[in-house]
Each structure stands twice: as C-alpha cells, then as structure tokens.
Structure 1
C-alpha cells in the first residue's frame, strides 16, 4: 500500500481553510480592518513557506546533479538566508508592536500565535540550510564521508521534532485560548493536529 503526498493545490486550500477557521473561529475577528491585517499576515507567511518548499525542492534536485556550478548552490543558500532574516524581521515586528501592559489580553494571544508562525518558518528554513551545509561539506571533501548518513538522520530528527513540538504547542494554545471547546473550529484544529503528526 502506497501513501501519496497531497498535491500543492490541496495543501494550498487546506492552508486557506485552516487559516479562515483560525481568524474567524479562534480570533473572533469582527471588523474588516482586522480581517485585512490577518490576510496580509498570512499572505506573508504563505509566501515564506512557499519559498522554503521551493528551496527544499531545488536543493534535492541540485544534490543529485553531480556537476552543478557553485553559483547555483549559493543562490539557494542566499534565498534560505533571506527567508530566515525575513522570519526574524517578522518576529521583531510582532514584538515591537505588542503592548506589554496587558499580558493576558487578546493582543497577547495574537502575539504568541504570530511568533509561533515565525518560529516554524525559521526552523524549517534552518533545517534546509543545515542539510545544504552538510551536502556542501560532503562535496568539498576528497575522501568518502562515512558519518554523513548518521548526521543527516540526527539533523532531520532534531529539526522535525522541534518543528512538530512548536506546531503542537501552537495548536494547544489555540484550543485553550478561546471558548471554542465544542465548536466546529475546535474540530478543525484537532484534525490539523492529527494530520501534522
């Protein structure tokens, strides 16, 4: 029995549906201004996630090409560094715009939600960068690197564990932050937890 990965179109609509449930079910957005702010935020998040996915696919393609020029590698590395810097800038923007005087307010929950999205982006981009660094180190070596598979395995394990832990805490925060225990939004959030793990 083979398990197929969902197509990019299915992932896109899943992302849109999930974020729609989040904005209206968890955050209880009521004004058009807030809706537009959240749409802008999730557009930026989706663009960065797409750049990470494209970089990962490009890395996998280039890693199997034996005679790839060095400049192609540096383009992908540069894009990944830009994504990490963008994630850090988004995090800094969230923190600098937060009002620290109301620690349990809706703004505090929004800040935590936004920071967790930034953390996921940074972790995913760093994961691809680490894999790329291992690959570039391997192709520069003269002799065979016997420990490469072990290091790649542990890197993947650590970064996937970190990403899934952030996602899990993020979803638990969604469930506990609002009064959505017996609603359609809580069911969708639970389905997201199940499909991500």
Structure 2
C-alpha cells in the first residue's frame, strides 16, 4: 500500500479502517465462538490468523506514519472514534483479545468458582466438582483443580475417605454486602 501514489494520510486511514474492522470482527467472532462451544480448533486458528494480520497492519501503519506501534494503535483508535466505530474494541490489539476458547474457559471457571462459593464451608465432593469441571474437557479436569489448589483459590480437605473442595474466597453476596455497624476507629 505504501508503494502506491496515495497520500500518506489516505494510506494511513485505509490501514486504520482495516485494522479497526479486523479487531471488531475478532471480538465479535470470539464472543460467538464462546457462546456455542468451549473448544473450537478452527476458531482458534482463525483467531491466530487475525492476530498476525493485525500485527502486519499495525507494522504497516507505523511505517506510513513513521512512528512506533503505540502511535499506530492510538491512530486506529482515533480513526474509529472519528468514523463511528467501536472505540473500545478498536483500541485493543487482536493478540490482547481473548479467543473464543479463552472466553468459554473463563465462563466455565466462573461457574465452577460460583458453585464452590455457594457451597460455602461445606464445600463440594470430588464427584460433584468433577461434574462441574466436565465441560472443560477430559484433559482440563485434572489441570483445573491442580491449578486452583496451587493458586490458593480452592482448598482440598480430607475427612477419612472423603475429600471436599472449598473455595477460599467468600460468596459474592458477602463481598457486595455493606458493612454492618459503625465505622471502625483506630486507637
């Protein structure tokens, strides 16, 4: 595009338009993929292609503007704002956007942690937790629990032969609840 007779500002606008549309498309596609499936290898591959294309557009735009990539990203966001595009989406590089699989994973993680929080101090049995983790896929089941225990999100409690899993963070209702009583004073 830089080898044409177009003015640099016209070339920059054309590149910014392509980048903004690509970022919006990647965002929309990731949401759609996450809505209908948890693991979609083809969608993951398409997301990676969009990452590479976005990188190429930013590199090309930075060349046209004779600026760094941060300035090119800012130019894309300004172009989107000036032309009625979604500024929030256009300002985020595709490589920084979660893929559909990552969004689905986050949604499933939130469901699992939510169920653990609701169970409170009684926790969930291994069988009940396995049912919640099952949508992640057979490979992810073991890793999810292992990572949650290592991160300190979940505690494994053994009582004789049974094992219970308890969430270490309080239920969302307790997090959102206002403090009861007066203000604390330090003395």
What is the TM-score with the length of structure 1 in the denominator?
0.37
| Bigger share in helix | 1
Name the structure, 1 or 2, with higher relative contact order (CA <8 Å, separation 6+): 1
Larger-Rg structure: 2
| Bigger share in strand | 2
What is the TM-score with the length of structure 2 in the denominator?
0.39
